[in-house]
Amino acid sequence: MTAVSYVTTVYNKISEIEACARAQWRQAGEFEREFIFVDDSSTDGSFEFLQSLAEQEPRMRVLRKPNGGPARALNLGVREARFPLVKFCDGDDILTEDATSVLLDGFAQGARLVIGRKEPVGWTATPETFRRTEPVVFRTLPGDALSEAIDHSLSGCSEVLVERDAFLAAGGCDERLFIQDQSYIRRLLALGTPHLLTEALVVFSPPSEAGALCNNSPQIDHDNNAALMWLVLDNPHLPAAVKRLALQKCASRGWKYARRVQGRKTGLDPAFWAYAASYLPMIPVTRGLFQATLEPYLRTGRVRQPEKPAP
């Protein structure tokens, strides 16, 4: 029988985690399951509340780790998972009742990574009013999957179901980054992991608060660029065209932020020169050029970087 480990990362989500947990408990389908919640040293009582929830569900485990960001928390949860498939979830997201069954259909077609769609509560429906009326259709990324994922900044967490062994073989989330969903999908695709995508809605996200991580665009864009930098540096065998594309995406994003948001002048910012160099094939793709694309975000003082990978 199929078996799924749900891995949920939590940091200060006391008002949302009960709905998140109960949506997981209600998942339709005949498969064995366990529920792992990893608290990243919450300060609002989330950990204690999770412990009380676990008294209602014997298949639920609650872990606690020193604060270091969702990337490390997710990796810890996957390492602790007992089952071959892992369903990720953020601590404030709500799965549709059939989310896991929908994604499992992709595994039945040979995928080891399946990604669905996520939308804000109330955008087209709410968890209470949602009813699936359209058939679920799967597709693969066109052409070179890794290039497509880089070009469109493919990422995700709560909408993903993945084979545990494939996730671990790819190195999981890059722990040199704070955010969890900017690295592991592209790491998996770099290894040629069979994948499927669907536009089927499988998860709702709540309205975000002003201080939420999803509203910290410097952190998100920094980690997106850093994820691509480390992907290229860790995989020197990647085709030159893929490396060049990764640098172009990073440089374009970094220079646009420096110019539009920070008012930096052409020729007077390292991100501009990285952008110019990224389109000159005679200039090699280097770590220094990637690092120049990170500087606009680092200047904001809003980017958190883990000090070192967890042991």
Q: Residue 254 CA to chain centroid, in angstroms?
A: 20
pLDDT confidence of residue 209: 66
Q: Report the pLDDT averaged over residues 288-299.
A: 98
Q: How confident is the model at residue 308 (pLDDT cuts 50, 70, 90)?
A: low
pLDDT(212) > 70:
no
Q: Report the pLDDT averaged over residues 278-305.
A: 96
Count, residues in the chain: 311
Name the pairing type of β-strands 60-64 and 3-10.
unpaired
Six-digit token pair at 82? Answer: 């007992």
User: What pLDDT, in 10s, does the model give residues 101-146?
Assistant: 999 999 999 999 999 999 999 999 999 999 999 999 999 999 999 9
Q: What pTM, to 2 d.p., does this model score?
A: 0.95
> CB neighbours (10 Å) of residue 192?
9
Six-digit token pair at 60? Answer: 């639920």
pLDDT(1) > 60:
yes
pLDDT confidence of residue 311: 47
pLDDT(82) > 70:
yes
CB 229 within 8 A of CB 278: no
pLDDT confidence of residue 183: 96
How far is residue 2's CA from residue 32's CA, in Å, rounded to a whole number? 6
Q: Which residues pair with 3 in a beta bridge?
A: 32
Domains defined for the chain, CATH in brackets: 3-213 (3.90.550.10), 216-298 (no CATH)
